């Protein structure tokens, strides 16, 4: 583990007699340790890594909150002024990949408080002397996490694509993984279609996987066809573009 920074330690009690603490290290990763107060004579266990190295944040550090028993979520502001978060997945007993929350906010440190069980409220002071409030209902927390993870995968795929082989095979894999995640989020229905049209099908076509590109282009036609039935003004043009893409790939 790298040396800790000078940022304050964040602490939260996810249930009675238990304490979890969090701190950043100089390699820009986040670590945690937990103490079980039901065994007061037991030593603190070894720390565990919460995020990979390179996850930068702005001082003064991290906010930790628990909205229901055994639930823990942490927040921090990144160098792009976007609030970032991760939470502890109780089912898999691990911290999920961190994800961004919305657009950049001109604030150094968010304030987070839970309301109803499982709910998170993120508040930040802005440069225009306003307080911005984002409420994450229990169902939204995982949706936001999955969407953020998919966005990161797409960005990663684009970065890998511009590197020499064999990095392009990794770029394709990351882009396909992002689309797979987005298929599980019906509230973001247009996004998998958009990503299929670019960058996924161009990537697949370039690396010689044309059959897969055709299959996904047909999926994009189906997605935008369904959406255009409900809103032809908004999605009709994308539906036509998807059909032209599919026709070109089949030609």
Domain ranges of the chain: 10-136, 148-250
The gap from C-alpha 165 to its chain's centroid, in whole angstroms, comes to: 27
Q: Could you state, in chain order, the average pLDDT of each consecutive group of 10 residues for the chain (251 residues)? A: 73 88 85 86 87 69 82 80 81 83 60 71 69 70 75 84 81 88 87 95 94 96 95 95 96 87
| Residue-level pLDDT at 221 | 97
User: CA–CA separation, 251 vs 248, rounded Å?
Assistant: 5
CATH number of 10-136: 2.120.10.70
CB 60 within 8 A of CB 8: yes
Please report the pLDDT score of residue 194 as a whole number: 95
User: Under DSSP, is residue 9 helix (H, G, I), strand (E, B) or coil?
Assistant: coil
**Nearest by Cα to 169 from 160, 159, 177:** 160
* pTM value > 0.75: no
Q: Using CA atoms, how far apart are residues 30 and 97, in angstroms rounded to an integer? A: 12
Report the pLDDT value the prediction gives residue 235, as an integer from 0 to 100.
Answer: 95
Q: What class has domain 148-250?
A: mainly alpha
142's enclosing H/E stretch is helix 138-161
pLDDT of residue 104: 60
């Amino acid at each position: 583990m790298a040396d800790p920074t000078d940022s304050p330690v964040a602490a939260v009690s996810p249930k009675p007699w238990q304490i979890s603490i969090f701190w950043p290290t100089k390699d820009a990763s986040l670590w945690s340790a937990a103490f079980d107060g039901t065994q007061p004579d037991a030593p603190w266990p070894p720390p565990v890594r919460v995020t990979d190295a390179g996850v930068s944040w702005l001082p003064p550090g991290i906010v930790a909150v628990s909205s229901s028993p055994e639930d823990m979520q942490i927040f921090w502001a990144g160098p792009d002024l976007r609030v970032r978060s991760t939470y502890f997945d109780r089912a898999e007993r691990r911290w999920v990949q961190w994800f961004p929350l919305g657009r950049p906010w001109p604030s150094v440190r968010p304030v987070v408080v839970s309301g109803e069980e499982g709910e998170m409220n993120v508040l930040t002071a802005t440069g225009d002397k306003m307080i911005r409030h984002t409420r994450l209902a229990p169902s939204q927390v995982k949706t936001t996490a999955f969407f953020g993870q998919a966005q990161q995968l797409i960005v990663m795929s684009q970065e890998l694509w511009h590197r020499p082989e064999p990095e392009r095979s990794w770029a394709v894999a990351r882009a396909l993984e992002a689309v797979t995640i987005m298929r599980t989020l019906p509230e973001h229905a247009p996004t998998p279609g958009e990503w299929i049209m670019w960058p996924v099908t161009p990537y697949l076509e370039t690396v010689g996987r044309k059959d897969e590109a055709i299959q996904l282009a047909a999926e994009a036609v189906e997605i935008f066809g369904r959406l255009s039935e409900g809103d032809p003004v908004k999605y009709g043009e994308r539906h036509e573009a998807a059909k032209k893409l599919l026709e070109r790939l089949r030609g």
